[in-house]
Amino acid sequence: MTMAQPTERHRRGIQSASLVFVSTLMVVVVALGLYTSTAAARGATSSYIATPNTGVRGSGLGPINSFPASWNDRCGYLVSGNATTSGTNFGPDSPLVAANLTLGQVYSKIVSSSAFQALAAGRDWVTLDWGTGQQGPPGAMQTFVTADFLFVSGGVPDPDGYAQMTYFVGSGNVTGSVGWPQDSCVGRAGFRYGARLSAPTVTYAVGQPLGINFTFTNLTSASMTITARTSCLGNFTVIQGGIEAQSNGQRAPTYGPAVYHSAKHPGCAGPPLKVVLGPRQSYSQTLHWDQTNDNGSQVAPGDYWITGMETGYLGQTFPVSVVEGPIIVGNQTQG
């Protein structure tokens, strides 16, 4: 069965190889009667600077944070040091100006929403970037503000830690989705990373094991060392959920509790990973999920999302999306 991919309404500013963010990007997409325009946002009210060796706490610290640049290095630019929340500058035509809203007010509405609290599950977070835009058919456009968040535990990003949140200006509704979107990368990347299912299917019989393959590739002309705190290149989290139809005819992801965390199990209990890759060399590992929860019981038939976190160059960590839609256990699907 083919699952429809949730509509991605968020468009990010172009990121150059020197990590210069263009904050005035405007993208217009016309497809199947759906019009979307996005621009960067402005109006932050507070900021936070990460303190070395103490972790990063985003909770309650406002819409702008500083965090390790590798946490948002989606293109493999070999970054170092800290980065700051992007997309925080906008012009007088911003929908926030028309609605008499500040970015701080929108931030408060998002992080206090039930949708955000359900995904945060008591964890800290950092705000990676902001954007604004519109969607919908002609004559019925909805204005929205988007924010990308990364949930953090003990100063380290979680495998299910990436979330895109959307605040609809007109209704005040907040929606959220998990997963790490693909970026259009500009400039020469230093490495490539990612994760995928080891078999070309998203439908599995009850009890059928499935593999998650993590890969890291050195794209430079010099040797590169990748390290991890455990023996595994990555780890993953399985989240109960699915896809459901909405009143506007679109399909949206649904999320329940996380049922399995690979990091909690002994599969990565060996010596810490350290691999030296020559120019253009790759390293891969495949982890397996046997469809049990963290207590060792078979999960119920239904839909499940898989998200992950990969370790790589100099021990940096990178959130990854394993599949674009949910996997289906037992040939059942929601919605």
Residue 74's CB is within 10 A of a number of other CB atoms, namely 20
Amino acid at 308: G
Question: Is the pLDDT reported for residue 16 higher than 50?
Answer: no
| C-alpha to C-alpha distance for 162 and 305, rounded to whole angstroms | 13
| C-alpha to C-alpha distance for 111 and 144, rounded to whole angstroms | 15
* pTM greater than the 0.75 cutoff: no
> Tokens 């595994």 label which residue?
232
The whole-number pLDDT of residue 184 equals 57
Continuous H helices in the chain: 95-98, 103-111, 114-120
Every domain of the chain and the residues it spans: 27-178, 191-329
First to last CA, the chain: 13
- The more confidently predicted of residues 302 and 14 is 302
43: left (phi over 0), alpha (psi -120 to 50) or beta: left
- Distances from the Cα of 181 to the Cαs of 55, 72, 230, 304, 324, in angstroms? 25, 11, 26, 18, 9
- Summarised one tens digit per residue, pLDDT across range 57-94 is 444 468 999 988 888 877 777 777 889 998 887 667 77
Residue 240's CB is within 10 A of a number of other CB atoms, namely 21
- Summarised one tens digit per residue, pLDDT across range 146-173 is 999 988 887 778 767 788 899 999 889 9
Check whether domain 191-329 has CATH 3.40.50.12780, yes or no: no
- Summarised one tens digit per residue, pLDDT across range 169-215 is 988 999 888 766 555 565 677 888 888 898 888 899 999 999 999 99
